[in-house]
Amino acid sequence: MTEKTLIEKAKDVLSPATPYEKSINNIERKEQLQADLETARRKESRARNDAQRLLSRIQDKQNYVRGTKAAFERSNNADDGRKLEGLLKEKSNLESQREAELLSVCSALEEQETLSGELLSLRIGANDKVLLDHQAKIAGIEAQINRLTGLITEQQTIIVAHDFSENRAEELRQQRQEILTDISLGDDKAEELQAITKELAAAEKVDAKTNTANAQATQDAQAIVAGLSGRLSVEQTKLTLLKRNTPHLFGEYIRDMALIELEAYKKASNNIIGIVERINHLDSLMEVHGDEATTGVLNFDRWEMKLPRFKDMVSLSSTQDSEHYYVDFNNHTVFDPAGAEAIKSAVIKKGIILG
């Protein structure tokens, strides 16, 4: 684990993380540890494979060394001697490489042990308040997403409303064209031409003003949509990351509840052990002072002892089936759906939403 800088330590003191922030940080740390552990495992696997390949090459090289050494001993030839010297050097280099790979294997194994230990001891921490804070953050982002989506829809409506080109002057142009044609044919329509020309100029100004306003409104709305869409994308990414943490938080929350029940079970089982021991003591007293060898209660009433066997529980070879003696095999799948719903209802009453 990397050491915190002085600045980070100062921030922790001045602005201590909330329980929720600590939980999220622990989730991120868990994911990083899992990724680092997988990297270390791949590193070990590669180093083992490389070491094995180098061992094969060393063995092959050793065979060449033996042959060359035998030839050199027979001939005492300088060339064979130089060849032998070169082979021995190559073999030594391969052995050094293999030693380095084996050291890499050891390093990766040590790294895995460290990472696994930290993973095992890392607790995310997820109580009622942490889950409620998590839900509140999700609800807040979802509300912002809905708001941004609504604003985008409004701007898109504006774009549609201004998606037209005003051309009221077109009809006036056609009328003016007809008047000009009549004048060219000899009609006296100078006053009409003057009037229509004036009217056309005014209409063209209105069209230009309207179309400019439409273009500006459309451009502004498109710019707003682009900006809102960018912010919407940011919020959607936040929501995705937050929801990715939900199973981790619920898992830790439910595990904590199970640990509480486990402690209660262990306490109850220790009480039961004490009771069974006292029955055994009474058996011994019966054997010495009574009229039977034992009280007989464990033989005749053991079917009434409703201790469940845990799922997938198997007997240990050292004890055969002795630990199952007081287990009710007819009651080994203790699961009442109504009980699970009762636990769920108790959680929901706290305001925690179980999806």
Query: So what's the pLDDT on residue 1?
Result: 41
According to the model, what pLDDT value does residue 309 have? 57
Report residue 299: phi and psi, to 5°. -75, -45
For residue 335, the model assigns a pLDDT of 55
Q: How far apart (Å, rounded) are the C-alpha atoms in residues 29 and 211?
A: 57
Residue labelled with tokens 């004036």: 198
Tokens linked to 1: 């684990």
13 membership: H or E segment, kind and range = helix 6-14
User: pTM above 0.85?
Assistant: no
Which residues does residue 327 pair with via DSSP β-bridges, in sequence order? 307
Which pLDDT belongs to residue 325?
Answer: 45
What tens-digit pLDDT sequence spans the chain (355 residues)? 445 566 665 555 555 588 999 999 999 999 999 999 999 999 999 999 999 999 999 999 999 889 888 888 888 888 888 888 998 999 999 999 999 999 999 999 999 999 999 999 999 988 999 999 999 999 999 999 999 999 999 999 999 988 888 888 888 889 889 889 988 998 888 899 899 889 889 988 998 898 889 999 999 999 999 999 999 999 999 999 999 999 999 999 999 998 998 899 889 888 887 887 888 888 888 888 888 888 877 766 655 665 665 555 555 555 555 444 445 454 444 556 677 788 888 888 888 887 6
Domain range annotation of the chain: 6-122, 131-300
d(CA 110, CA 36): 13
pLDDT score, position 15: 57
Among residues 238, 242, 233, 217, the alpha carbon closest in space to that of 149 is found at 233
State the pLDDT at residue 136. 94
Report how far residue 244's alpha carbon sits from residue 270's, in angstroms, rounded to the nearest whole number: 40
pLDDT at residue number 168? 83
Burial class for 291, CB neighbours closer than 10 Å (0-12, 13-18, 19+): exposed
What pLDDT is stored for residue 12 in this prediction?
A: 58
- According to the model, what pLDDT value does residue 28 have? 92
- pLDDT number for residue 62: 92
For 121, 135, 223, the CA distances from 16, given in Å and listed in that order, are: 22, 21, 40
